[in-house]
Structure 1
Amino acid sequence: MSKAFSRVNKNTAQISALGMLFGMVSNAVCKNEGLLEISGERDVSYIIETGNKNNAEILKTFNDHKAKDEDPIPQVKSLSFVKKRVLPNTTC
């Protein structure tokens, strides 16, 4: 990336692939009319594996949404971070 581009765009919001995926999944689960028609409205909880450097961004995005007067993803009720574990008789 050129220095000129970086200087002009230094204040542009940056989002990781994981943050983008979090937003896309939230939209798909909470806004997809076909899915809502089949399943009915449901509360959604996310369980995120610890250890990813972008987890702070997911938490910030979640908190930002919840702080808004009109939450864009009201069905998402909780976000938890858990340690990765390998179940017996499985491989990762």
Structure 2
Amino acid sequence: MIEVIKFYKEPEGKYVEIIAKASETCIIKEFLINGDFFVIPPEVIDQLEDFLKGLRIVNVDELIDRVSRLLANTRVVGLSKNKLIELIREVLSDIKSKCREHLK
């Protein structure tokens, strides 16, 4: 099992922690987004986590496009929406790179 954890804190602001676990074949088993920021409507975070679970990471850009669409009509308070998307991209990219190492 591959695990990636990213933590980010806005200067003078809120924090976000993303914990992701994937199989050696790049299938996301767990994807959690935690922090003291807010997303309106709040159920979008659950939808985002559920969307990513079970997917194989093949094309990070394609997944990020879909993540961006899920977040398009939301309001993120205490953290920039772009920063949240950037952190998700970093987590997915790190997992993909670690999967490649396992498959060698």
Q: Could you say whether these structures have the same fold, taking a TM-score greater than 0.5 normalized by the shorter chain as the test?
A: no
Higher strand share: 2
Structure number with bigger Rg: 1
Which TM-score applies when normalising by structure 2? 0.32
